[in-house]
Structure 1
Amino acid sequence: MRYLILVKASKGSEAGAMPDPEIFDAMAHYHEQLAKAGVLLDANGLHPSSRGWRVRYRGGQRSVVDGPFAETKELIAGYTLIQTHSRDEAVEWSRRFPNPHGEDCEIEVRPLFELDDFAALEGVRRFRRLGVSGA
């Protein structure tokens, strides 16, 4: 089972501030432990939303909207992707996640869909041929 640990943005991360060295060291240690346990698939931080964009779909039309985006609490500053044998194991790993901002905050953890979660449709077969794990 794969789980995505989502680190919510803060005012500092949206301003482009780098994490404090102590937080960065704690994150490095945590991710080393994930790697040592064989559950780490990927991890990365994201640039502020001012460097990104959104694609908006309205009335059958697409438009590109450049950042920044106002609601910091709804933005993602980084992620860690893990693969565990159970939800309980993922919960235990997420409880060990260092405080990403050194202030009151929260991380969000969500399971990823696997192709086996979907009916045997042509689109699922096409994703399998691409070699991707989920949709």
Structure 2
Amino acid sequence: MRFIAVLRTAEAHGFPPPELAEGIAALGAEAARSGVLVDTAGLLPVATATRVGVTAGELTVTEGPFDDPAPLGAYAVYDVTTRDEVIDWTKRFMDLHRRTWPTWEGESEIRQIFGPES
């Protein structure tokens, strides 16, 4: 089963402290060694985003920035055997933030991916 964990956080927090970056790198390496981490990356600020949508039957293209209170900041794709497994990895990721960046706030949303490889 494949899942994506999407991190949402206000961009006003700035860059993460070095301890968090090191912890994320170590956690990612552990997940990759275990074979469950498929892909992960941070995302550029919402000011660089473009949204393509459909409104009243017409395609729309809107350039950022957008007023999202908690825009997407990063993602991780996992290939695991149970939902509990991806929840555990995501809790560990969020706990790193809690421990190394006490003023940071955000959340991760976990969604199952469906398709030919899931």
Per the shorter chain, which TM-score range? 0.7 to 0.9
More deviation, 61-70/3-12: 3-12
Instruction: State the superposition RMSD in angstroms.
Output: 1.9
1:72 deviates by 2.6
Q: Which residue of 2 aligns with 1:29?
A: 26
Gaps of 5+ in 2: none
Equivalent residue pairs, number = 113
Give the TM-score normalised by structure 2: 0.85
1:63 deviates by 1.6
Cα-to-partner distance string for 1:1-26 (whole Å, 9 max, x where unaligned): 1111111132336xxx3322111111
Q: Distance in 2 between matches of 1:94 and 1:77?
A: 14
Give the TM-score normalised by structure 1: 0.75
Residue 47 of structure 1 aligns to a residue in which SS?
A: coil
- 1:39-58 matches, within 5 Å, as 39-58=36-55
Q: Which residue of 1 aligns with 2:62?
A: 65
Gaps of 5+ in 1: 116-132
Amino acid at match of 1:50: A
Task: Specify which of 85, 90, 94 is matched with residue 94 of structure 1.
Answer: 90
Percent identity between the two aligned chains: 28
Residue 91 of structure 1 aligns to a residue in which SS?
A: helix
More relative contact order in 1 or in 2 (CA 8 Å, sep 6+)?
2
Residue 105 of structure 2 aligns to a residue in which SS?
A: coil
Amino acid at match of 1:12: A
Amino acid at match of 2:3: Y
